[in-house]
Amino acid sequence: MKKQLTALLLATTVTFSVGALTAEQALAASNATIVSGVNFRKAPNTGSATYGLLKTGEKVDILDKVNNYWYKVRDDQGRVGYISTSSKYVRTDGSGGSSSNGSGTSNGGSTSNTGGSSNSGSTSKPSTGNSSELVNKIIAAGKKYMGTPYEFGSSRSNTSTFDCSDFTRQAFKEGAGITLPSDSRGQASYVKSLGGTTTDWHNLKPGDLMFFMDYKGTKASAYPSDKSNQRISHVGIYLGDGKILHTFSKASGGVRIDSIAGKHWEHRFVFGGSALK
């Protein structure tokens, strides 16, 4: 009986050891290659400080997929930080976990799973359904603040007043969990870095950000035909059907919806695009 008990304990120990090894293997990071220079940030938001730029060809280990927009990675110097999940910047090699449907704490994930904030998959942006859902949430979050007073340089720590970029930042933060840069020029640079921008507002989709130059009058002739080098001074959220959700002055009543066509907004428009890629 004593020998049988010893054998049983030994078998249990071996089984446990194999299970522990499998779990350790499951925690192995996925390999990835940088395909275009990308900021290596210290936190998963675009306002975070960076270690610098990861260059094309560099290898990183994907430790976790924070959400649809950020990977937690380790570079070849052993530093841990965050990069965009966009396939424009990174190509996953899928050599990590043993399962295609795991969480970041129990396996490394293969490249097939598209959901979840703890997933380590390689999807670079939400599916069409997720994008539509996020857009609706962003717009709903923005509309919740209709009439909120305008204040230039408003505090980013409360929602009692907004300037234009504070408002768009709050809508995206609440609706999509994305923390945009604090000012309109920073948001413009971020959207431009994702690609897919347009200088024709008719080509915009609901939820896209719109960027404008300074006001120079109500006539189209007051504005240059080539606005590519114009300084961005205003941002708003396109709603579709020629409408924009934004805030721009105390006199206008704070957060509001305006028509674009034939107005100075149309003449001032520089470019627009999605911040969700």
Q: What is the mean pLDDT of residues 35-53?
A: 86
Do 64 and 157 fall within a single domain?
no
* Residue 257: both structure tokens together: 């919806």
pLDDT at 77: 82
Would you say residue 61 lies in a domain? Answer: yes
Q: Which of 70, 102, 124 is the last residue of a domain?
A: 124
Do 180 and 119 fall within a single domain?
no
CATH number at residue 62: 2.30.30.40
Q: Which of 100, 124, 148 is the last residue of a domain?
A: 124
Do 142 and 255 fall within a single domain?
yes
Instruction: Please tell me the total count of domains within the chain.
Output: 2
Would you say residue 189 lies in a domain? Answer: yes
Quick: pLDDT tens for 255-270.
Answer: 999 999 999 999 999 9
Do 42 and 79 fall within a single domain?
yes
Would you say residue 1 lies in a domain? Answer: no
pLDDT at 12: 45
Do 39 and 169 fall within a single domain?
no
* Residues forming a β-bridge with 33: 59, 91
pLDDT at 30: 65
Do 82 and 33 fall within a single domain?
yes
* Residues forming a β-bridge with 90: 34
pLDDT surpasses 50 at 173: yes
Q: Which of 5-9, 52-56, 137-141 holds the top average pLDDT?
A: 137-141
Would you say residue 9 lies in a domain? Answer: no
pLDDT at 126: 35
Cα→Cα distances 233→121, 185, 188, Å = 38, 7, 10
pLDDT surpasses 60 at 98: no
* Residue 76: both structure tokens together: 């070849």
Would you say residue 14 lies in a domain? Answer: no
Would you say residue 13 lies in a domain? Answer: no
Do 135 and 54 fall within a single domain?
no
Residue 264, helix vs strand vs coil = helix
87-96, 114-123, 226-235, 259-268 — which is least confidently predicted? 114-123
Do 112 and 155 fall within a single domain?
no
Quick: pLDDT tens for 99-132.
Answer: 333 333 333 333 233 232 323 232 233 333 347 8
Q: Which of 142, 161, 141 is nearest to 153 (CA)?
A: 161
pLDDT at 53: 85
Q: Which of 232, 231, 118 is nearest to 168 (CA)?
A: 232
H-type alpha helices, the chain: 2-26, 128-143, 164-176, 184-194, 264-268
Do 161 and 106 fall within a single domain?
no
Q: Which of 21, 27, 24, 18 is nearest to 96 (CA)?
A: 27
CATH number at residue 168: 3.90.1720.10
pLDDT surpasses 80 at 7: no
Do 170 and 152 fall within a single domain?
yes
Residue 138, helix vs strand vs coil = helix
31-35, 124-128, 140-144, 236-240 — which is least confidently predicted? 124-128
Determine the Cα–Cα distance for residues 148 and 232; give it in Å rounded to an integer: 23
Q: Which of 58, 90, 124 is the last residue of a domain?
A: 124
pLDDT at 113: 31
pLDDT at 14: 37
Quick: pLDDT tens for 137-166.
Answer: 999 999 999 999 999 999 999 999 999 999
Reported as a pLDDT band with limits 50, 70 and 90, residue 76 is: confident
Do 142 and 201 fall within a single domain?
yes
pLDDT at 273: 96
Task: Kindly write down the DSSP assignment for every residue of 84-110, as one continuous string.
Answer: E--TTTEEE---S-S-SS--TTT----
Expressed as residue numbers, the domain containing 98 is: 29-124
Mean pLDDT score across all residues of the chain: 79
**Percent of the chain predicted with pLDDT > 70:** 75
Q: Which of 233, 245, 260 is nearest to 145 (CA)?
A: 245
The 8-class DSSP code of residue 150 comes to B
